[in-house]
């Protein structure tokens, strides 16, 4: 294996695939990046078995690619990234000299790194299914951002550790819940399928980091894995086994109380009182009546805080309701609307939060019982 390539493009490719590498991978090979050099292009690949990323450096002009000898090798990601990033040159040469010794060089610098044989790297299959749709990366990011925070990070119910994509015809419903709160949104696709899959939150987080520009993404569906293809890059994630709970019956349909207010007003108030914690949790109480809407929080050790919600417009009988401040803060942050509305059906009933200007996103939070 021996090739020359643009430093900038190589570094870019290495940065893309290295996102798949986990610090906690059980398999030593997964700390490396696999180089596969063909007659016409170079494939870089990395994986942690849950998520796998490959990208191609091809014979396009800007790559300044010159392939002298084909072959493959695995190089420790942290070393190759550090070396390539710091090299002060336009063109880098990489050569596997004897065995698995890799020489990385330019005019003034020469690095000799001990690599790993490519056949010791696990076989990763990037086969695509026939079912795919396209979506803009900005829209996909928005959908993920509006729901991902509500996924569970506990190990007890793995099927809550991802976002459920329920595809029924051309309608895709995305739902995440950790059983204390739920976030839901939907979008239309230009095809028609039936899938009910759970994509791991961890993979979607890595996917989002890879989507900096606004680009068309091809999403290939199957019941085992999903592939996202953007330009030269394929990001593949396994799916979570298990059945996502049916959440429809959780969402109340009629509401006796409604609180409408400015999004900055409520976010500012929750943020200010968030330092008041009991056992690490910030519990917030809303006292609502036709005269005034008061948000408060207190703790024996720290003290108390009282906020008047200036922009609040409340309809319904007097209501006092308590909830986890962080859950409601994150739910509201995911709503893209300058005015939001809380809809309550009772002190101990789940309540929903929606945007007045955009009601596609639905946020649901369970209240908590307090004795304060």
CB nearer to a copy of itself: give 107 or 291: 107
Minimum CB distance to a copy of itself, residue 95 (Å):
13
Q: Which residue among 27, 134, 209, 275 contacts a copy of itself (CB under 8 A)?
A: 275
- The count of C-alpha atoms lying within 13 angstroms of the C-alpha of 3, restricted to the half-sphere facing its C-beta, is 26
Minimum CB distance to a copy of itself, residue 339 (Å):
18
Euclidean distance between CA atoms 231 and 91, whole angstroms: 23
100 DSSP 8-state letter: T
Nearest to 263 by CA among 342, 323, 332: 332
CB nearer to a copy of itself: give 110 or 347: 110
Minimum CB distance to a copy of itself, residue 41 (Å):
26
Is residue 117 close enough to count as binding a copy of itself by CB under 8 A? no
Beta-carbon neighbour count of residue 50 at 10 Å? Answer: 18
20 DSSP 8-state letter: T
Euclidean distance between CA atoms 75 and 91, whole angstroms: 19
Q: Which residue among 33, 305, 361, 365 contacts a copy of itself (CB under 8 A)?
A: 305
300 DSSP 8-state letter: T
Q: Which residue among 38, 40, 112, 223 contacts a copy of itself (CB under 8 A)?
A: 112
The residue range among 32-40, 108-116, 157-165, 335-343 that interacts with a copy of itself, by the rule CB under 8 A, is 108-116
Q: Which residue among 29, 91, 113, 124 contacts a copy of itself (CB under 8 A)?
A: 113
The residue range among 101-109, 166-174, 184-192, 331-339 that interacts with a copy of itself, by the rule CB under 8 A, is 101-109
Minimum CB distance to a copy of itself, residue 169 (Å):
46
Is residue 213 close enough to count as binding a copy of itself by CB under 8 A? no
Query: Which residues lie below 8 Å from residue 72, measured CB to CB, with a gap of 6+?
Result: 1, 34, 35, 36, 37, 118
CB nearer to a copy of itself: give 271 or 357: 271
Query: Which residues lie below 8 Å from residue 269, measured CB to CB, with a gap of 6+?
Result: 295, 307, 309
Name the token pair of 39. 């007659």
Is residue 114 close enough to count as binding a copy of itself by CB under 8 A? yes
Is residue 101 close enough to count as binding a copy of itself by CB under 8 A? yes
CB nearer to a copy of itself: give 102 or 197: 102
Residue 183 burial by Cβ neighbours in a 10 Å radius (0-12, 13-18, 19+): buried
Contact 353, 331 (CB under 8 A): yes
Is residue 291 close enough to count as binding a copy of itself by CB under 8 A? no
- The count of C-alpha atoms lying within 13 angstroms of the C-alpha of 302, restricted to the half-sphere facing its C-beta, is 15
The residue range among 35-43, 218-226, 304-312, 336-344 that interacts with a copy of itself, by the rule CB under 8 A, is 304-312
Rounded to a whole number of angstroms, the distance between the first and last alpha carbons of the chain is 70
Give phi and psi for 315, each to the nearest 5: -125, 140
Q: Which residue among 109, 138, 194, 315 contacts a copy of itself (CB under 8 A)?
A: 109
CB nearer to a copy of itself: give 59 or 91: 91
Is residue 310 close enough to count as binding a copy of itself by CB under 8 A? yes
The residue range among 132-140, 245-253, 266-274, 283-291 that interacts with a copy of itself, by the rule CB under 8 A, is 266-274
Query: Which residues lie below 8 Å from residue 132, measured CB to CB, with a gap of 6+?
Result: 191, 218, 219, 220, 221
The residue range among 2-10, 38-46, 234-242, 264-272 that interacts with a copy of itself, by the rule CB under 8 A, is 264-272
Is residue 90 close enough to count as binding a copy of itself by CB under 8 A? no
Euclidean distance between CA atoms 14 and 11, whole angstroms: 5
Name the token pair of 130. 């026939």
98 DSSP 8-state letter: S
Residues that bind a copy of itself (CB under 8 A): 78-79, 82-83, 86-88, 101-102, 107-114, 268-269, 271-272, 275, 301-308, 310
């Amino acid at each position: 294996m021996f090739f020359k390539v643009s430093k900038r493009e190589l570094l870019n490719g290495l940065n893309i695939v290295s996102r798949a590498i986990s610090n906690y991978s059980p398999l030593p090979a997964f700390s490396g990046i696999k180089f596969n050099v063909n007659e016409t292009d170079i494939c870089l690949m990395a994986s942690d078995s849950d998520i796998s990323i490959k990208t191609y450096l091809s014979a396009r002009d800007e790559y300044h690619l010159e392939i002298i000898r084909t072959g493959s090798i695995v190089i420790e990601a942290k070393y190759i990234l550090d070396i390539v990033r710091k090299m002060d040159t336009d063109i880098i040469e990489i050569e596997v000299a004897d065995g698995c010794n890799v020489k990385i060089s330019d005019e003034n610098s020469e690095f000799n790194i001990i690599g790993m044989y490519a056949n010791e790297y696990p076989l990763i299959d990037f086969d695509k299914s026939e079912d795919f749709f396209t979506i803009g990366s900005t829209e996909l990011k928005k959908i993920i951002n509006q729901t991902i925070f509500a996924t569970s990070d506990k190990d007890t119910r793995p099927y809550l550790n991802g976002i459920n994509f329920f595809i029924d015809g051309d309608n895709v419903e995305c739902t995440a819940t950790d059983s204390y709160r739920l976030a839901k949104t939907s979008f239309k696709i230009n095809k028609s399928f039936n899938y009910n899959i759970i994509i791991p939150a961890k993979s979607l987080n890595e996917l989002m980091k890879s989507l900096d520009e606004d680009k068309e993404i091809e999403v290939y569906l199957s019941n085992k894995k999903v592939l996202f293809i953007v330009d030269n890059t394929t990001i593949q994630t396994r799916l979570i086994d298990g059945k996502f709970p049916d959440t429809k019956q959780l969402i109340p349909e009629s509401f006796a109380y409604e609180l409408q207010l400015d999004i900055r007003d409520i976010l500012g108030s929750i943020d200010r009182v968030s330092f008041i914690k009991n056992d690490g949790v910030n519990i917030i109480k809303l006292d609502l009546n036709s005269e005034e809407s008061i948000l408060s929080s207190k703790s024996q050790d720290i003290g108390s805080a009282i906020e008047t919600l200036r922009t609040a417009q409340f309809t319904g009988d007097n209501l006092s309701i308590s909830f986890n401040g962080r859950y409601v803060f994150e739910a509201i942050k995911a709503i893209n609307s300058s005015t939001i509305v809380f809809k309550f059906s009772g002190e101990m009933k789940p309540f929903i939060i929606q945007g007045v200007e955009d009601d596609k996103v639905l946020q649901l939070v369970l209240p908590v019982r307090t004795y304060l």
